[in-house]
Amino acid sequence: MTTEDWLARHTFHHGDFWDLLAMIREKERQNLTLSLCIPTLNEEATIGKEIVIFKSELMDRYPLLDEIAVIDSGSEDRTCEVARSFGADVYRSADILPAHGTRRGKGENLWKAIHQLKGDVIVYVDADIKNIHPRFVWGLAGPVIYRPDIHYVKAFYDRPLAFSQGVRPSGGGRVTEILVRPLFSLFYPDLAAMIQPLSGEYAVRRHVLERLRFPIGYGVETSHLIDVHRQWGMAALAQTDLDQRVHRNQATRDLGRMAFGILQTFFSRARDHGLLDVHAPLHTVLRQFQVQDRDFEQVLHEIVEEERPPMIEIPEYRAARGLAGGDG
């Protein structure tokens, strides 16, 4: 399949799935269950609106979702109380699979959600979206429900728009365009067809999720695409245009830390696949600087992209799902 063919057959718009009643009928015909996971850390300001919209529109009015769950990293504000008050199931990441310890990071929440949630398909949506809309779920679930060959659907946003000076190019954020897209173009060129590989919204079939390794931090989205591509091919991947996503922007220094974690994950994958001949261990300290008057102060960040194993290897998960060898 050429890149052009893939883009034509595996790129969707949320408007393709406007008929929610038809989607629900197809979901029920296949006996599929659909879970929504919202990973959180101090999202009191936006989590309530997300829960209200998803529950009222996609559970009460149109029963597309079977479950709405918040997996929280240890918020110090009222995130959990607000989410629970509006009807979401709320779990502390540290309380899930306690025998395996707890780590701090979004990837940890996504990994533990596989064990905690029940759905055959899990839709992940970030908690900081200011223009939240039901399309953030139905636009991602649609390709999975209607296309049995598609297993993993990523979101992208903000289509090319014509304005007085011409056409504004569309694509990912700053880290995508100056780091991930060039890396994919060099080492995994098929994946350069993903418009926003680092987007935090995606829908995935359980049988795929449970076989993926999960970096606990910034590298989780990059690792997923590489691993799905290696194990199932580009035919298993798709992407949906959700029009626009409004959220808080991160400072450049924060993006530097994100890029550092992504690079650790990328180098690990490329080395495993024989694409890079790197034998020395990678350093895990990022050095940044801040200036006060005329003094430049070093700021050191220890960033280790530890990875959780595929959930299918966890004895408690195997036991809960009734898989052979569940007792370890």
Looking at residue 207, which CATH number applies to its domain?
3.90.550.10
Q: Is the dihedral of CA 4, 273, 256, 46 positive or negative?
A: positive
Take residue 166 and report the two structure tokens written for it. Answer: 């011409």
* Residue 190 lies in domain: 3-320
Note down pLDDT in tens along the chain; length 328 residues.
899 999 999 999 999 999 999 999 999 999 999 999 999 999 999 999 999 999 999 999 999 999 999 999 999 999 999 999 999 999 999 999 999 999 988 999 999 999 999 999 999 999 988 899 999 999 999 999 999 999 999 999 874 444 445 555 555 588 999 999 999 999 999 999 999 999 999 999 999 999 999 999 899 999 999 999 999 999 999 999 998 887 667 788 889 999 999 999 999 999 999 998 888 888 889 998 888 877 888 889 898 889 999 999 999 999 999 997 644 4
User: Is 291 domain-assigned?
Assistant: yes
Question: Considering only CA atoms, which of 234, 65, 56 is closest in space to residue 138?
Answer: 65
Strand-pairing partners, residue 214, are 308
**In terms of C-beta distances under 8 Å and separation of at least 24 residues, what long-range contacts does 173-180 make, across chains too?**
173/198, 174/252, 174/255, 175/255, 175/258, 175/259, 175/262, 179/259, 179/262, 179/263, 180/222, 180/262, 180/266
User: Is 328 domain-assigned?
Assistant: no
User: Is 72 domain-assigned?
Assistant: yes
Strand-pairing partners, residue 36, are 68, 123
Q: Is the dihedral of CA 52, 220, 105, 248 positive or negative?
A: negative
The string of DSSP letters for 109-137 reads HHHHHHHH---SEEEE--S--TT--THHH
User: Is 327 domain-assigned?
Assistant: no
User: Is 17 domain-assigned?
Assistant: yes
User: Is 274 domain-assigned?
Assistant: yes
Q: How many CB atoms lie within 10 A of CB 236?
A: 18
Flag whether the pTM goes above 0.75. yes
Number of domains in the chain: 1
